Amino acid sequence: MRPNHLPFETVTIGTLFSGGTLLGLIYYFLAKVGPWRKQTTDATDALIKQLTDNTLKLTERLDKLETTLAQERRAHYIEVRRIESRYQAQQSLDRHKFNNADATLDSLLRILELSPEKASEAARQAREARMKQRETEALEAAVIHKAEIQGVAEAEADFDRDLAQ
């Protein structure tokens, strides 16, 4: 017959063996997990440092690109305004030229209608008027260049003012 109760000495030795085994397992686990945690922490720190460095590099690149883009935008804005100023000045000059030619032709026709015998004199006066108009037009070409320069200066001021707002 087997006894239902184990003797006191047997329980104590079993308890010691199971407790020792448990302590051994705990010691083994801590000995292995400790360096593993350190390695994981080091890897995490290295990853964080790498991501931080990459973020800083990308931020620097983004700042450079934004600066370049702002410079290009300013240059394009100024160029468009320069072209618009030149176009408007050229358009004004062309209107002036057309009006002069139209007025000269009208005066020539009026003289021819009133006194056909003075046709050669009227033609000579019309030629002189056209020569003066061409000389004036050559001087007015400088107006186009001046308008272009003023357009650039105004565009730069406008762009800088709009940028400051």
Q: What is the mean pLDDT of each run of 10 residues along the chain (165 residues)?
A: 52 55 68 66 87 95 94 88 83 85 84 82 83 81 77 78 72
Is 79 inside a domain boundary? yes
Residue 120 forms part of a structural domain:
yes
pLDDT of residue 36: 62
Residue 18 lies in a domain: no
- Return the number of other C-beta atoms located less than 10 Å from residue 143's C-beta: 14
- What is residue 25's predicted lDDT score, i.e. its pLDDT? 67
Q: Domain tally for the chain?
A: 1
Structural domain including 130 reads: 54-159
pLDDT at 122: 81
| pTM check: above 0.75 | no
Whole-number pLDDT of residue 1: 46
In a domain, 94, yes or no: yes
Is 88 domain-assigned? Answer: yes
Q: State residue 72's pLDDT score.
A: 92
Domain presence at residue 115: yes
Q: What is the C-alpha separation between 76 and 81, in angstroms, rounded?
A: 9
- Confirm whether 44 is domain-assigned: no
Cα–Cα distance for residue pair 45/27, rounded to 1 Å: 27
Cα dihedral sign, 13-16-19-20: negative
Residue 103 belongs to a domain: yes
At residue 12, the pLDDT reads 53
Contact status, residue 152 vs residue 79, Cβ threshold 8 Å = no
